[in-house]
C-alpha cells in the first residue's frame, strides 16, 4: 500500500504542485479513506518528504543503470536527460518552486542529496570525456560539475523560464547543448551534433 500511495501522490504533486494537492484528493484518487493514508504517513509533510525521497531514489536508480552501460559521455548525458524526462513527463505545475516555498527543510535536504549524486556522476562523466578526447583536457572538472548542477536547477525557475515560453524538454535540451558546446573538442562537437539529430 505504501508504494501505491507514493506513486499516486507523486503523479498528483507533479501535476498540481505540492501545496495544491490535498490529502482528500489523494485518498479519493486511491479510492480509500484519509484514515488509511494516515496509517502510513502521520501528516502531509511526512508524505511530501517520502514522495520526494521516492522520486530521488527512482531517478538515482535510473542514472546508475545508464552509467553501468559505459556509453560515451555525451551519449550518456542524453540518455540521462531522456530518462529524467520520462519520469517527470506529467510535471505541469512548478513542484520545485512549491517545495522550496512551502516545505523548505525537505527542499534543502533534497537539493543537498541531488548535489552529492550529481557531483559524483558529472565528475566521472567529465573525466571520461577528457580521456576519450570528447572534452577539452584543460577544463576545470570541479568547476564545470558545479556549474552544471547550478544550471540544471536554474532552468527549473519558472520566474526566469516560464513554461509558456519554454517546454521542459526544450529547456533541458538547450541547456545540455549549451553545456557541451562549452567543453567539447571537435570530436565532441561531432558526437553532440549526432545526438541532437536523434533527439
Q: Compute mean pLDDT per 10 residues along the chain, 199 residues long, and list them.
A: 95 90 95 95 97 95 96 97 82 74 95 95 97 98 97 89 86 96 98 94
12 in Cβ contact with 93 (< 8 Å): no
Domain that holds residue 16: 2-186
In-domain check, residue 198: no
Instruction: Give how many domains the chain has, as a whole number.
Output: 1
In-domain check, residue 87: yes
Burial 38-68 (b: 16+ CB within 10 A, else e): eeebeebeebbbbbbebbeeebeebbeebbe
pLDDT of residue 98: 85
What whole-number distance in Å separates Cα of residue 131 and Cα of residue 135?
8
What whole-number distance in Å separates Cα of residue 125 and Cα of residue 102?
34
pLDDT of residue 92: 57
179 in Cβ contact with 78 (< 8 Å): no
pLDDT of residue 95: 79
In-domain check, residue 72: yes
In-domain check, residue 161: yes
Cell readout for 38 is 494516515
146 in Cβ contact with 119 (< 8 Å): yes
The CATH code of the domain that includes 162 is: 1.10.357.10
Amino acid at each position: 500500500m505504501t508504494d501505491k500511495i507514493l506513486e499516486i501522490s507523486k503523479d498528483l504533486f507533479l501535476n498540481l504542485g505540492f501545496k495544491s494537492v490535498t490529502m482528500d484528493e489523494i485518498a479519493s484518487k486511491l479510492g480509500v479513506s484519509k484514515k488509511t493514508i494516515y496509517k502510513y504517513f502521520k501528516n502531509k509533510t511526512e508524505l511530501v518528504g517520502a514522495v520526494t525521497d521516492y522520486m530521488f531514489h527512482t531517478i538515482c536508480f535510473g542514472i546508475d543503470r545508464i552509467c553501468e552501460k559505459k556509453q560515451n559521455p555525451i551519449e550518456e548525458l542524453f540518455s540521462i536527460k531522456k530518462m529524467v524526462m520520462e519520469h517527470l513527463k506529467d510535471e505541469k505545475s512548478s513542484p520545485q518552486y512549491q517545495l522550496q516555498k512551502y516545505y523548505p527543510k525537505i527542499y534543502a535536504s533534497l537539493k543537498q542529496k541531488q548535489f552529492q549524486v550529481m557531483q559524483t556522476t558529472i565528475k566521472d562523466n567529465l573525466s571520461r570525456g577528457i580521456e576519450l578526447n570528447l572534452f577539452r583536457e584543460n577544463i576545470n572538472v570541479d568547476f564545470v560539475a558545479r556549474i552544471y548542477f547550478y544550471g540544471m536547477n536554474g532552468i527549473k525557475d519558472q520566474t526566469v523560464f516560464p513554461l509558456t515560453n519554454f517546454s521542459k524538454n526544450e529547456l533541458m535540451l538547450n541547456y545540455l547543448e549549451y553545456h557541451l558546446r562549452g567543453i567539447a573538442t571537435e570530436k565532441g562537437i561531432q558526437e553532440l551534433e549526432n545526438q541532437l539529430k536523434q533527439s
